[in-house]
Amino acid sequence: PKDKQELIDGIHRMKQEKNAVILAHYYVDEDIQDLADFVGDSLGLSQQAAATEADMIVFCGVHFMGETAKILSPHKKVVIPDMNAGCSLADSAPADKFAEFKAQYPDHIVLSYINCSAEIKALSDIIVTSSNALKIVQSLPPDQKIIFAPDANLGRFVSKKTGRDMVLWDGACIVHIDISLEKLNDLRTKYPNAKFIAHPECQEHILIHADFVGSTTALLNYVVEQPETEFIVGTEAGILHKMRQAVPNKKIIPAPANENNTCACSECPYMKMNTLEKLYNTLYYELPEIHVPEDIRVKAEASVLRMLEMSK
Ligand code: 13P
Ligand code: SF4
């Protein structure tokens, strides 16, 4: 196909023919969000991946998300548009280094943010996402010692909110740590009535200014449910698409990044590797396919299922 409409038509046709489901994260390209069967945050996407009746899961997000889908639905074919769509958080925690780190704290349980590899999930006791981390930590016995990996900013936020001391692995999201406080302050002066809302992957010096902190789905729900009409949004700019569709009359402003990139806001280079053309090819060739070695998958599945159970 040559043009955009031909790509979109082809994707819809192959999706039917192959009984495939397209799952997309809020941070991917708007056109992909518009044709996906489900768009959501990491928790919602993994719940969908576990429950789908489709034969093939096409995951438009990043590698660890496709892996999580395969962990939960091992008998389905799981494909992603670009194998190079990684994540700085997952990359921050190589399995061998993490196993050494974990061995230093034998009486701690390991809580890992879903943004990590299958190997790290296999070394973890419970997986969390930004929408259930507080609830899961609060449900643990007060004397339970905890390692939290790989996002130190989310870990610090959870620790502060719950009053629980946790040993943190020092990982970060390159996108969320790049929000500029100086430019944010300028923007808040310009829009004094705007609510500032942020994702917990942001640094503490940004989060302390937020009126609300939550996962991407929680941020979307917040702008829909709150009566205010102006919001400055501290997360990857892809989420603005669904916000603007949901509340077209409200002003949704992306929080500014340090460096002036194309949109002067925060964009994840990995999420943006998902293009319509690559999605078309992925459906056509059913490649590239995610594989997880069975010994790792079984251990990783236990920690992800614990999360799904504790999120009910
Ligand atoms: P959530 O959509 O679960 O909030 O995660 C954000 C993120 O950075 C995904 O990579
Ligand atoms: Fe990873 Fe950050 Fe990109 Fe999410 S936004 S995939 S946490 S690098």
Distance 125 CA to ligand 2 centre (A): 22
Please tell me whether 216 is known to bind a ligand.
yes
Find the residues whose C-beta lies inside 6 A of ligand 1: 41-42, 115, 129-130, 173, 199, 201, 215-216
pLDDT digits (tens, 9 = 90+) for 256-311: 998 655 455 789 999 999 999 999 999 999 999 999 999 999 999 999 999 999 99
Distance 13 CA to ligand 2 centre (A): 30
Distance 6 CA to ligand 1 centre (A): 30
State the pLDDT at residue 263.
Answer: 52
Please tell me whether 113 is known to bind a ligand.
yes
Average pLDDT, the chain: 96
**Are 57 and 37 spatial neighbours (Cβ–Cβ below 8 Å)?**
no
Distance 302 CA to ligand 2 centre (A): 24
pLDDT of 249 above 60? yes
pLDDT digits (tens, 9 = 90+) for 199-236: 999 999 999 999 999 999 999 999 999 999 999 999 99
**Are 81 and 280 spatial neighbours (Cβ–Cβ below 8 Å)?**
no
Which residues, other chains included, contact 104 with Cβ-Cβ below 8 Å and sequence gap of 6+?
none
pLDDT digits (tens, 9 = 90+) for 88-109: 999 999 999 999 999 999 999 9
Cα distance between residue 218 and residue 227, in whole Å: 15
State the pLDDT at residue 312.
Answer: 85
Ligand 1 atom 9: residue of nearest CA: 42
Domains and CATH numbers, the chain: 4-86+271-291 (3.40.50.10800), 89-172+296-310 (3.40.50.10800), 176-254 (3.40.50.10800)
Q: Ligand 1, closest atom to CA 43?
A: 3
pLDDT digits (tens, 9 = 90+) for 105-139: 999 999 999 999 999 999 999 999 999 999 999 99
Give the confidence band of 141 by pLDDT, cuts at 50, 70, 90: very high
pLDDT of 156 above 80? yes
Distance 2 CA to ligand 1 centre (A): 32
Q: Ligand 2, closest atom to CA 268?
A: 3
Q: Which amino acid appears at position 41 of this protein?
A: D
State the pLDDT at residue 28.
Answer: 98
**DSSP-assigned states of every residue in 245-263:** HH-TTSEEEEPPBSS--TT
Q: Ligand 2, closest atom to CA 87?
A: 1
State the pLDDT at residue 264.
Answer: 58
Which residues, other chains included, contact 131 with Cβ-Cβ below 8 Å and sequence gap of 6+?
41, 42, 43, 214, 215, 217, 218, 311
Q: Ligand 2, closest atom to CA 173?
A: 2
pLDDT of 38 above 70? yes
Question: Percent helix, strand, coil in the chain (nearest 5)?
Answer: 45, 15, 40
Note the ligand closest to the C-alpha atom of 91. Answer: 2
Distance 62 CA to ligand 2 centre (A): 8
Q: Ligand 1, closest atom to CA 176?
A: 8
